[in-house]
Amino acid sequence: MANPRLRALSRCRKWAKKDWAITAVGFTFILFALTLLFDSRNSDTPSPTIDHHSTQGLVPLTLLNRAKATGAFCLDGSLPGYHFQKGSESGSNNWLLHIDGGGWCNSIKTCNVRKGKALGSSEYMDRLVPFAGILSRHPSQNPDFYNWNIVKIRYCDGASFAGHPESEFKNGTKLFFRGQLIWEAIMSELLSLGLSNARQALLSGCSAGGLATLIHCDEFRDHLPTDATVKCLTDPGFFLDEPDILGNRTISDFYHDVVQLQCIFPHQIIKNVRTPLFIVNPAYDFWQIQHVLVPVGSDPRGYWKRCRLNIKECDSSQIKILQGFRSSLHKALSKLEKDKEGGMFINSCFVHCQTWMAETWHSPNSPRINNKTIAESVSDWYFNRKPPKKIDCPYPCNPTCHNMITPG
């Protein structure tokens, strides 16, 4: 077939059984930041005293006007957006991109809900956002990237910037599935702002943005000068395709629906990333425990009700199951452990997305492995300083964890 659209449409349906079996994709959920609290009791050191008002500049939203030309719209048809802070001095030609997380929508109904929220429409996005953690302008919070050009890419397509318009207008609804086009429009804008001359660059993302990072990492690399240093960081973007506690394949059914709905091509997800990759991943990823291992429907008697929200409430048989989940993660990561250019920070904490918060990225009491913060470990890898693979001992051995708690 000569028509690329038609070719795309036919490819859209070609997910074989083995594709599903080896797919590892990620999601996060919108309530994350709203409902969770750090368990500071788990740490022996006092809470970090970071003054958010003086250390986190607010950065304005830029709407992507050039998206009109290609129809690269958010789910509701609005323009996508990003926040940009220009680099200075030694960082002027270096670029750090961070893609937001926010789960996926797997049905017309759930995608429609997003049309009325920032995750599906720029109408609802905050016009000013703080830049913290890996985005921070302050060397004390962000020792190696603070003066780079820093871009926070807003997520509004519901499918990790991987959907294709071939799957639109199902059953007469008006939803735009244009993630791939949004990605291309954002790249084109940033390249024109100086990314095309980058000397050093790092593409990163949290959760669904971590998956987008995996999907687009090599494309990103190919846009930049061949002699530039280009690497990618997912936090986390590496999600397990594991059965739940009843043995049902809850999460793989969910992936299946997202892929079918937004017409994601297998080659976008199932491939080896050529570009050097660093994985930040808690061994007991909070989101995965709640959505992969113990989804709500898997626990009708409420036996896991407290444990799935707070690891300190887990009994010994539940901890055993969590240790099994950790082993599956380590097994899945074993290939990357052998990769000389890859790096990892797999801490035994109950948390999700640790790079964009000052407290977990780099602060006096942030999580550490071998006494290194995530920021220090990522820098050691990015700048080829030290052996970059850090794997923690099993829970509850690490007192530096910031374990999440959802108020029950």
Q: Which residues in this chain contact ligand NAG in the complex, by CB under 6 A?
A: 108, 170-171, 246-248, 297, 371
Report d(CA 323, CA 348) in Å as an integer. Answer: 10
For ligand NAG, give the closer residue by CB, 65 or 248: 248
Q: Quote the tokens at residue 112.
A: 């429609």
Query: What torsion, rounded to 10 degrees, do the Cα atoms 172, 176, 179, 181 define?
Result: 110
Least distance between ligand NAG and beta carbon 343 (Å): 19
Does the bond joining 396 to the residue before it have cis omega, within 30 degrees of 0? yes
Least distance between ligand NAG and beta carbon 385 (Å): 15
Least distance between ligand NAG and beta carbon 338 (Å): 28
Q: Annotated active-site positions, please? A: 207, 285, 352
Report d(CA 321, CA 369) in Å as an integer. Answer: 23
Least distance between ligand NAG and beta carbon 180 (Å): 19
For ligand NAG, give the closer residue by CB, 111 or 201: 111
For ligand NAG, give the closer residue by CB, 179 or 210: 179
Least distance between ligand NAG and beta carbon 317 (Å): 18
For ligand NAG, give the closer residue by CB, 352 or 368: 368
Cα angle value 41/141/377 (rounded, 5°)? 80
Report d(CA 268, CA 256) in Å as an integer. Answer: 14
Least distance between ligand NAG and beta carbon 42 (Å): 18
Task: Name the nearest CA neighbour of 282 among 235, 317, 319, 318.
Answer: 235
Report d(CA 219, CA 199) in Å as an integer. Answer: 17
Whether 162 and 268 have beta carbons less than 8 Å apart is answered as yes
Report d(CA 19, CA 186) in Å as an integer. Answer: 29
Report d(CA 321, CA 302) in Å as an integer. Answer: 16
For ligand NAG, give the closer residue by CB, 57 or 243: 243
Sheet bearing 94-99, strands edge to edge: 128-130, 58-63, 81-85, 149-153, 94-99, 200-205, 229-234, 277-280, 343-346, 389-391
Report d(CA 186, CA 259) in Å as an integer. Answer: 22
For ligand NAG, give the closer residue by CB, 116 or 297: 297
Q: Quote the tokens at residue 356.
A: 């964009």
Amino acid at 235: D
Task: Name the nearest CA neighbour of 25 among 259, 324, 282.
Answer: 259
For ligand NAG, give the closer residue by CB, 327 or 370: 370
The DSSP code sequence of 194-233 is TGGG-SEEEEEE-THHHHHHHHHHHHHHHHS-TTSEEEEE
